[in-house]
Amino acid sequence: MPDVPEDVDTQVFRKVEKHPPAAHPHQHRKPTGGGAPGAVPDSPAASGRPVAPGNPAAPGSADRGVRKPVTPPPAAEAPPVAGTPAEAPLAAEPPAPSARDERGGRRRLVSALWPPRVTRAQLVVALLLFGLGLGLAIQVSSTSDNSALRGARQEDLVRILDELDDRTQRLEDEKARLEKQRSELESSSDQAEEARKQTQEKERQLGILAGTVAAEGPGITLSVGDPTGAVESDMLLDAIQELRAAGAEAIQVNGVRVVADSYFTGSGDDMRIDGTQVAAPYVFKVIGKPEDLEPALNIPGGVVQTLEKEQAAVTVERSPKIVVDALRPAKRPDYAQSSSQ
């Protein structure tokens, strides 16, 4: 009988039969049919069933003949190497505070702050701080009062210093004169006559100050024009005070003698001095040292600048002879009496 050539499928099947796949050490086959336990047919030929050439293998025969690889189990994790920092476990999140805890915390805070508990040491520190603050406030206030002098020019400061030196010199001269009078009284043979002379001289001086005696001497003339009626009585009083501080010995304003108890009232058309009405321009006749009187009026922020801010016309003139002839009647004091024996 002639040999029939085999087709391609048959040749492939024969090759598979000659080299069956090795069984996996962990794989067990399920026994089928009546074969011996553990015997697994690898192919149709092994089971004794003929296979016609050129026919495809029965379904599932190839699957049973070829084994699928089994995935090995995962290897155990290697232990961490010594010296390698292990991963720290995650910290558990703190629980959120409840509304009751918040209210309790507020109550504890309020009870700790109120009522305040003040100790003796805290009270002493508070008093010291209060005293320090008060002293600083007084210092700042006194410094602000001298702001006009801080802004003055060097020439004005020198002139003011000269005025202070002149006042000091006048006081020294007055002291020397009084000491001389005392020595004359002590050494005079006729003490009664010398005392009478000194009393007359003192009366004349006091009469000039009291306005009961006319006076003349060097001084200045201050004229204040008031076209707008803005000059107030306190402005004229400031001028009087500034002149007295500069050494004025006798002052007369529009025919009214100004003395220690003089007063100014009204303003504009109703300006009055000691109850006597005066009208602008206001003319001050002042006896004293002109070198002291004029600079005292012209200092920065002084009388002249204050009046000029009110649109007043101010002029100051020096004169070698000023006559103050307005008099005031002598008044006998009602209650004051001499305490000398």
Q: pTM score, two decimals? A: 0.45
pLDDT of residue 93: 58
CA-based nearest residue to 285, from 260, 258, 251, 313: 251
Where does the pLDDT of residue 177 fall: very low under 50, low under 70, confident under 90, or very high at 90 and above? confident
Task: Return the percent helix, strand and coil in the chain, to nearest 5.
Answer: 45, 15, 45
Average pLDDT over residues 97-125: 76
Close Cβ partners of 72 (under 8 Å, ≥ 6 residues apart)? none
pLDDT exceeds cutoff 70 at 324: yes
CA-based nearest residue to 66, from 88, 40, 34: 40
Token duo for residue 68: 């699928």
pLDDT of residue 38: 46
Dihedral, CA atoms, 333, 286, 145, 225, nearest 10 degrees?
A: 110
pLDDT of residue 253: 94
Strand order in the sheet with 276-278: 264-265, 271-273, 276-278
Token duo for residue 145: 């009062």
Q: What are phi and psi of 283, to 5 degrees?
A: -110, 120
Close Cβ partners of 246 (under 8 Å, ≥ 6 residues apart)? 163, 288, 289, 292, 293, 295, 296
pLDDT of residue 200: 81
pLDDT exceeds cutoff 80 at 35: no
Task: Provide the percentage of residues in the chain whose pLDDT is more than 90.
Answer: 24
What's the mean per-residue pLDDT of the chain?
A: 75
pLDDT of residue 269: 84
pLDDT exceeds cutoff 70 at 237: yes
Close Cβ partners of 30 (under 8 Å, ≥ 6 residues apart)? 40
Average pLDDT over residues 87-115: 67
pLDDT tens for 185-196 read 777 666 677 777
Q: Pick the residue with more confidence: 103 or 234? A: 234
C-alpha span between 109 and 156 (Å, rounded): 63
